[in-house]
Amino acid sequence: MKNTDVKLPHGPGFQLVDAVISTETSPDTVIGSYTFTGEEEWRATDHFPGKPIMPGVMMIEAMAQNAIQIAQSKPGLEDKLFIFQGADKVKFLSQVTPYTTLTLSATIFWTEENRRGFANCMIVHDHRAIAEATIHFVVMKDRTKR
């Protein structure tokens, strides 16, 4: 995958990965980026008005969306829908303020070949860990079919 090849099923107002910086297939790892503006359509401006910060739940969503980038690059999974099943080992280590560019990393591990897995994820800014979590997901039918 080359830089900026972001492929997500979400609409533009809910995409939390701006660019794919690099991918590796051994192990299945992806590095992406996202710039939090504080003016996102999901109303970050209302999350502490006057001093907006990125909500923790949106950090988890950004980590999950980044993980999808490497999972859907596996042969046979390109058109599948990846459904978030949960998160554990979640740690929020710092606040994210507007106009912060985050580096997102995820390494995927499959528990059932091409059906279910988890990703060890991290968000970093200026070489400092911002958040980390293990994201669990399941692979569903083709995303083009309802």
Instruction: Check which CATH number belongs to the domain holding 136 and give it.
Output: 3.10.129.10
Residues annotated catalytic, as ranges: 47
Residue 61 covered by a domain: yes
Residue 28 covered by a domain: yes
Residue 93 covered by a domain: yes
Residue 7 covered by a domain: no
Residue 91 covered by a domain: yes
pLDDT at 99 over 70: yes
Residue 70 covered by a domain: yes
Task: Please report the pLDDT score of residue 55 as a whole number.
Answer: 92
- The token pair at 119 is 């990703």
Number of compact structural domains in the chain: 1
Per the structure, the complete domain to which residue 135 belongs is given by 12-142
> Between the CA atoms of 108, 121, 126 and 94, what dihedral angle is there, to the nearest 10 degrees?
180
Residue 112 covered by a domain: yes
Alpha-carbon span 143 to 92, nearest angstrom: 31
Query: In the chain, what is the straight-line distance between the N-terminal and C-terminal CA atoms, in Å?
Result: 27
Residue 31 covered by a domain: yes
Alpha-carbon span 28 to 72, nearest angstrom: 11
- The answer to which of 38-47, 60-69, 131-140 has the lowest mean pLDDT is 38-47
User: pTM, whole model, 2 decimals?
Assistant: 0.89
Chain center to CA of 83: 12
Secondary structure of residue 102 in the 3-state scheme: strand
Task: Please report the pLDDT score of residue 1 as a whole number.
Answer: 40
Residue position matching structure tokens 């690099």: 22
80-92 and 28-36: which strand pairing?
A: unpaired
Helices (H), the chain: 56-71
